[in-house]
Structure 1
């Protein structure tokens, strides 16, 4: 007998009671089909993932551009980061890298040196992507984190235990360095057409 799916209203109610999910507890619930929507674990809190048209199109465009650049494997899988299990829109791992461990049969843990770039396409979640997630990805030791909005790319580098030391904003007409590949990309091409 399986349990009834947990609705987002139930998750919100649980969050109001300051329940903190562990990565293992979240994974067990997720893999058992307990959630009725796409969610991610951010600092012990279950957060809904909302993907609109602009977000979806931009994420696929970024993934395609990154796949065309040699030097890594582009994926959209959940990326373990401390006590969080965020779902970046895409991230790049070193070709030939082996997992450092397993959280479940379907979810690996990766060494920070093997995670070359983490990308969040940010529309509805821009504040969380620019404040909470840099702390999560930086403290995990991931070297470069991009937040892509409709107008700019915010590159976070120099990870520390508290986040990143450096955040640089790039706009259309500029180029952003793809550090792990030793090349640069057009910000306008990454952002796509102007609405």
Structure 2
């Protein structure tokens, strides 16, 4: 017995779901979004402050779009001057995506990270279960992006 699945295009996704739905499109499939807990929210807010103070354009909880995909990362560092009002940012407009992960850690590692990598998007996972960054498959207490260096203790 096989299980039927349907891969959605971006257009079908927008026809079936609205902004209020707690879902995201990844590799043509619909995934439920997790509830945001206090530690998660706090870490995202601290990361926003760090990157904004460093002069970066930051998007939080906003979609990135490419065929079959509209994930909503916790934080996206956008290329300077990239904040389109008529569409979502494209992968080549994203300098860095950060997923803050607690209950969503397995999904972020196994579903979202491969999709970001396939699209050529540099990605960090902030692993709140172990209080570490996960970058290129390794765990570290410190992460650097251009002139910004962040210690995990500064955000958790």
TM-score by length of 2: 0.83
Report deviation, 1:98.
6.6
- 1:46-85 CA-to-partner distances (Å, cap 9, x unmatched) read 1111122222222222222221112x20002101144211
Q: Which runs of 4+ in 1 moved over 3 A?
A: none
Conserved in 2, the CA contact under 8 Å of 1:81 and 1:137? no
Q: Which runs of 5+ in 2 are unaligned?
A: none
Q: Which residue of 1 aligns with 2:100?
A: 121
Deviation of residue 108 (structure 1)?
Answer: 2.5
Aligned match of 2:71 in 86, 111, 124? Answer: 86
The answer to whether the aligner puts 1:149 opposite 2:127 as a matched pair is yes
- Pick 1 or 2: higher relative contact order, CA cutoff 8 A, min separation 6: 2
**In the superposition, relative to structure 1, how do residues 21 and 46 fare at CA in structure 2: closer, same or farther (>3 Å)?**
same
Which residue number corresponds to residue 43 of structure 1? 27
Structure 1: tracts of 5 or more residues without a match = 1-15, 100-104, 157-166
* 1:111/1:130 CA distance change after superposition, 3 Å: closer
Q: Aligned pair 1:184/2:154, yes or no?
A: no
Q: CA, structure 1 residues 98+57, in 2 after alignment: closer, same or farther (shift >3 Å)?
A: closer
